[in-house]
Structure 1
């Protein structure tokens, strides 16, 4: 009689008595003793707990028997829990195989299908295994929830953190500094609201899949909290975790507002922006406080672009070129402090030198670890050749080592990226930008202008048709520039006029002003 033998084992069922090699050996011995001819041996090496109806090897067996009717009489396996732990699956495939003249059975727990009690026995064998699976699943869910309620991470730590084992049964979560810098940068960029999150991901986080990227932005784990999912009658909870926060709550809150679409303080680059009206929504009307908008109109044989109040055009209407030039002069009052800039340059170069040393040390450690794993792979191969390991054990160990080698090689490659080698071009560009903000506002692409203004002024700038003033600007400007009071539009008691539209020549002295 021709038969097909079927072996199955899941990743968490590698105990003695259930390995694939043991099952095949037992099945072949049974077939030899009963003078059965083995047509094929098919093996499933993954868990089918949630994918019983999608098993590729079982599907292959069924398709083979259907194509070659009467060539195979029986499907044999070790025990019924090796066939399935789902009673519904068992009854379905017993029926499907019987329709094409093939029977299925276990060699350790054979069932007489001519008896009227066979369905009861199937329910006992497969139903008890299914009940055990359900119990294990419930105990696991309860254990995970209990861990989460204690403020601990129950699974693999999110990107930017790392699981650290304290003893055999306990772990805690620490910040992974090698990835934390990128995570902080991502949240800060998204919080600005100047680019869509997708653009930011493509620019600075190509290594993070899009779905994982948005899950990361929504995860309260980064502000030191744990999300406990709803369970039975208990609602979803957010509780304080025992790990260190990676992102401050203010930044995280801004990111949530942007993702929800409720934050509309700054213009976004999702739509094309008129290069002549790049100050729209950055400026507010002094009469009603609404943002300025603008449009281009035709008249007198030409086209003219104006800024006007978005609420009532009668409140304010000024030619766009005058507003843009005036704003460039307004920010040109900021003169960089030479001593600060020199210190800034020296510190960055020193930090780069330190960073290079750290990167070289880290690269050296990774190469040493790579060498150790290569030696382990050689030792494993020797053990396999000496018969100390069977084929299944050898394949599993080598596969694990190959994954570790691939990860290490990718990390070593990141340390050898040429873009990390020099900071001088970026430093030169930064200093040029700081010293020539007004030139960038006149000549740079509109996307650069918007990013630059957005980084300087987190809130709106009031414009009354002649002067600009703001009560809020990036406090980093106080560290770089000599005088920032000009941004508030304040005037000296002596009556000097500081309007940036009325003059353009700076007077001598430490504090910038206008004649």
Structure 2
């Protein structure tokens, strides 16, 4: 609304509230009432702006939206505003350097900022001194409270005590005397501790994802919260002491009982950081000539094939046989292994199709990196916004010690959210760094020479390779190999190979089946 241009003094009133001021009877409503009464007494004309009430306790003027809108209005309505009035100078600012700059800017535009209960005569030469007294006192009070708060947090943390709300899996407790006075504060396990411990331990094995562990064992916890919990050293009995007076942040032994072991916690960190997992070991020694005994099943009873080496006719001979009844099937190992190498070689698509897939995947990887970077930028903005919220809560904590528990809970929640966001950013950064082309070239070489690997690769490599191709057991009847499903990626490649060669899928043919050793149309047998 435009100011009235007449002989009256045109003013804008500004109210800003904080919890400690409300306790002293100067809520935003009380401030407004006193400001309006003062203006009526003085005969001032109040410019009614859409909003002149601020509920932000930010340290800087830039983080106060109402103050920013008032300053913007004054700049765009020069010579129409004479005064900016507020109750006390600590409602205007608690930072002397910033306040001085804004006061000088307003005075240069012909607008006098003033507090009706601590009025300054700007025609006097000593106004800077008075401004320093009023705002400097508020700033000094802030500094004193901040120091006391940091001293208390550092002292409590250094003793290994929890100084905030305990994380999930724990709960805050306290002991009191007969008069209700708190003697000691401590934490103990909560009802959900066992399920959280199980989720941590299962994820640490490296066989399931973090989100799967969460959904299986503690679905009541949000995904973002759980990721932050996985990084929290509180669960191994440690307390993080914040940086203080030049002493860097560090961990100390806490007084609470750890939920998981340090070894489990370290394995979790390695998984989250994308470090290489240790090479899986076979459950027991395997005869190199019987590497298929984990995969082949008997066509008669469905039991797994086993095997053994026997002596006879002056030599040693190795056979596969049914573990349930050796009479069902018994076959020389070298014949079974060579037949299987030819069978797997028949799964080899044409090199043209493989090269086409290489180019498509390279393009997709570039697109994916762009999407990842966009997500990282979005998360960084969220981190910045959360850090601003943390600053606001710290301000409220400094000004209102009576509600410190409430503010500590809010502060802890915001800090956890920042930690979770930073974990997600780190994970995305790791996934963005990889160069896919060498991996694609290696994968294509591997697929194109898969039968040679089955024949000549080390035992553990053979087992890993077969396990990555076949999802189910392979039935062997002494001549042919049959399976109900194998790797979906390979299946898609074979399907596209046939389509590119003008072959249509037979009626009733399943994409995930490869019923015998005869290759589908378009799949080149490896032994030809």
Matched with 1:324 is 295
Structure 2 CA distance, aligned partners of 1:325 and 1:446?
14
Q: Give CA deviations for 1:324-367 in whole Å, capped at 9, x if unaligned.
A: 33895579989xxxxxxxxxxxxxxxxxxxxxxxxxxxxxxxxx
Question: How big is the shift at 1:263?
Answer: 5.3
- The answer to whether the 8 A contact 1:87-1:130 is kept is yes
Structure 1 CA distance, aligned partners of 2:200 and 2:157?
24
Matched with 1:175 is 189
- The answer to whether the 8 A contact 1:10-1:48 is kept is no
Matched with 1:27 is 35
Query: Does residue 18 of structure 1 match 2:26?
Result: yes
Question: How big is the shift at 1:132?
Answer: 1.6
- The answer to whether the 8 A contact 2:11-2:46 is kept is yes
Matched with 1:193 is 206
1:2 to 4, 10, 20: 10
Q: TM-score, normalised by structure 2?
A: 0.50
- The answer to whether the 8 A contact 2:196-2:217 is kept is no
1:245–1:445 Cα change, 3 Å = farther
Question: How big is the shift at 1:15?
Answer: 1.8
Structure 2 CA distance, aligned partners of 1:3 and 1:165?
53
What secondary structure, in the 3-state scheme, does the structure 1 residue paired with 2:120 have? Answer: coil
1:201–1:141 Cα change, 3 Å = same
Q: Give CA deviations for 1:479-503 in whole Å, capped at 9, x if unaligned.
A: xxxxxxxxxxxxxxxxxxxxxxxxx
- The answer to whether the 8 A contact 1:156-1:163 is kept is yes
- The answer to whether the 8 A contact 2:54-2:66 is kept is yes
1:52–1:67 Cα change, 3 Å = closer
Query: Does residue 259 of structure 1 match 2:272?
Result: yes
Q: Give CA deviations for 1:428-479 in whole Å, capped at 9, x if unaligned.
A: xxxxxxxxxxx976689889xxxxxxxxxxxxxxxxxxxxxxxxxxxxxxxx
Matched with 1:242 is 255
1:103 to 95, 107, 112: 112
- The answer to whether the 8 A contact 1:53-1:89 is kept is no
Matched with 2:77 is 68
What secondary structure, in the 3-state scheme, does the structure 1 residue paired with 2:193 have? Answer: helix
Question: How big is the shift at 1:135?
Answer: 1.4
What secondary structure, in the 3-state scheme, does the structure 1 residue paired with 2:295 have? Answer: helix
- The answer to whether the 8 A contact 2:294-2:305 is kept is no
Matched with 2:232 is 219
Q: Which runs of 5+ in 1 are unaligned?
A: 267-280, 288-314, 335-402, 404-438, 448-515
Q: TM-score, normalised by structure 1?
A: 0.51
Q: Give CA deviations for 1:6-59 in whole Å, capped at 9, x if unaligned.
A: 11122344322432222122111111111112223612223223x442101101
1:160–1:124 Cα change, 3 Å = same
Q: Any residues of structure 2 matched to 1:14-413 within 5 Å, and which?
A: 14-40=22-48, 42-49=52-59, 51-167=60-176, 168-169=181-182, 170-177=184-191, 179-197=192-210, 200=213, 212-262=225-275, 264-265=277-278, 281-283=280-282, 324-325=295-296, 329=305
Structure 1 CA distance, aligned partners of 2:175 and 2:79?
60
Question: How big is the shift at 1:160?
Answer: 1.9
- The answer to whether the 8 A contact 1:11-1:46 is kept is no
Q: Any residues of structure 2 matched to 1:456-471 within 5 Å, and which?
A: none
Matched with 1:372 is none
- The answer to whether the 8 A contact 1:11-1:45 is kept is no
What secondary structure, in the 3-state scheme, does the structure 1 residue paired with 2:251 have? Answer: strand
- The answer to whether the 8 A contact 2:12-2:85 is kept is yes
- The answer to whether the 8 A contact 2:90-2:135 is kept is yes
- The answer to whether the 8 A contact 2:293-2:304 is kept is no
Greater CA drift, 128-137 or 225-234:
225-234
Question: How big is the shift at 1:153?
Answer: 0.6
Aligned residues: 302
Q: Any residues of structure 2 matched to 1:422-501 within 5 Å, and which?
A: none
1:98–1:212 Cα change, 3 Å = farther
1:20–1:193 Cα change, 3 Å = same
What secondary structure, in the 3-state scheme, does the structure 1 residue paired with 2:12 have? Answer: strand
Instruction: Kindly name which structure, 1 or 2, has the bigger radius of gyration based on alpha carbons.
Output: 2
What secondary structure, in the 3-state scheme, does the structure 2 residue paired with 1:14 have? Answer: helix
Q: Give CA deviations for 1:256-299 in whole Å, capped at 9, x if unaligned.
A: 33234445125xxxxxxxxxxxxxx5549979xxxxxxxxxxxx
Q: Cα RMSD (Å) of the superposition?
A: 3.9
Question: How big is the shift at 1:144?
Answer: 0.7
Q: Give CA deviations for 1:190-247 in whole Å, capped at 9, x if unaligned.
A: 2011244366557766765666434321222112221213322434432222223222
What secondary structure, in the 3-state scheme, does the structure 2 residue paired with 1:154 have? Answer: coil
Q: Which runs of 5+ in 2 are unaligned?
A: 1-8, 298-302, 308-321, 325-409, 411-470, 475-482, 488-528
Structure 2 CA distance, aligned partners of 1:44 and 1:207?
37
- The answer to whether the 8 A contact 2:200-2:213 is kept is no
What secondary structure, in the 3-state scheme, does the structure 2 residue paired with 1:3 have? Answer: strand
| Higher relative contact order (CA closer than 8 Å, sequence separation 6+) | 2
- The answer to whether the 8 A contact 2:293-2:306 is kept is no
- The answer to whether the 8 A contact 2:156-2:162 is kept is yes
Matched with 2:316 is none
Question: How big is the shift at 1:320?
Answer: 7.3
Structure 1 CA distance, aligned partners of 2:15 and 2:248?
42
